[in-house]
A and B are shown apart, each in its own frame.
Chain A
Amino acid sequence: MKISKKSELHVSIPTASMPDIVFMLIIFFMVSSVFKQYDGLPVKVPSAVVTKKIEQGKRDICYVWADRKSRVMIEDQLVEPRRISEIVYPKLIDNPRLLVALKVDQEGEMNIVNDIQVALRNASALRIVYATRFK
């Protein structure tokens, strides 16, 4: 009796669509990544145990920076604290979900923080976040 030889199997994964898959991944990353538009002042934010992640997209967050020399920056410009309301108010009209993140240096003084808060209240931007680090 003749035993038939096992036919050799050529197994190969089709790789023709590989570039398409990879390109799709690239396009996903290119579209979803937001490049930093503004850079603020050099600050060292304080740390806190109750720090929570902000569950809101970067596009809905407006940053206010205040450093230890009491300089205040918003949208890449140094401003007087009470002028913040003029900048924040139109933004809030455009985007009612706007959240204001205060990036204040831990050596900063409270009167600056208060001036910013008063300006934000004047602009009815009431949802704020004190930016902190995890302790």
Chain B
Amino acid sequence: MFVGERRARVAEIPTASMADIAFLLLIFFLVTTTIDSDKGISLTLPAMGEDFKVQTQIITNILINDAGQVLIDDANVGLQQVRETISQIVQQSPLDENGRPRQIFSILTGKLTKYGIFIDVLDQVKQAGATKISIAEPRE
């Protein structure tokens, strides 16, 4: 009997479509990853017990009551005029050794003041060029 030699079979996986598959995966990841960057207003809080006295004449008090009315140095100011008022104060302020205005802006809110209004005021104070901003603990 004749035993036939086994033919060596060459098994191959077709790799022609590999690139397509890989591209599909790539496109899937490209589409599904959301790169949402965080954004906001950054500030540094004072450390606990880091209280010091400053001259009262270089402090501008900004008071916001629970209803969202703004008082700057005892004068009632509309929410839209905060920036204007602050920038006038900033321009008149004496400069410190770094050439920045010395004036300190203290924002004091009520306990029930809306956060959105506080941010609005803080935003305007920053826009007006104030560099020294302090946030006081809310009062009743």
| B18 close to A (CB within 8 Å) | yes
| A37 close to B (CB within 8 Å) | no
Q: When each residue 56-76 of chain A gets 1 if its CB lies under 8 Å from chain B and 0 otherwise, what string results?
A: 101001000000000000000
| A38 close to B (CB within 8 Å) | no
Q: What is the count of residue pairs linking A and B with beta-carbon distances less than 8 angstroms?
A: 139
Cβ contact within 8 Å between A46 and B119 = yes
Please give, as numbers and ranges, the residues of chain B lying within 8 Å of A113 by CB-CB distance.
115, 118
**Residues A105-135 near B (CB distance < 8 A):** 105-114, 117-118, 120-122, 124, 126-135
Known: A53-B39, A109-B114, A110-B112. A48 touches B33 (CB 8 A): no
| A26 close to B (CB within 8 Å) | yes
| A50 close to B (CB within 8 Å) | yes
Please give, as numbers and ranges, the residues of chain A lying within 8 Å of B123 by CB-CB distance.
48-50, 132, 135
We find that the number of chain A residues with CB closer than 8 angstroms to chain B is: 51
Minimum CB distance partner of A17 in chain B: B19
In the bound assembly, the distance between CA atoms of A3 and B110 in angstroms comes to 97
Please give, as numbers and ranges, the residues of chain A lying within 8 Å of B134 by CB-CB distance.
none
Stretch at the interface among B4-12, B43-51, B84-92: B43-51
Given A19-B15, A114-B138, 12 additional A-B pairs, CB 8 A: A15-B19, A29-B29, A33-B29, A48-B120, A50-B126, A53-B37, A53-B38, A54-B37, A54-B42, A101-B38, A110-B118, A132-B40
Question: What would 28 A/B residue contacts be, using CB atoms closer than 8 Å?
Answer: A19-B19, A19-B22, A22-B19, A22-B23, A26-B22, A29-B30, A33-B29, A101-B40, A106-B115, A106-B119, A107-B116, A109-B111, A109-B112, A110-B111, A110-B114, A113-B118, A114-B138, A118-B137, A121-B47, A122-B48, A124-B47, A127-B42, A127-B44, A130-B40, A130-B42, A132-B39, A132-B123, A134-B39
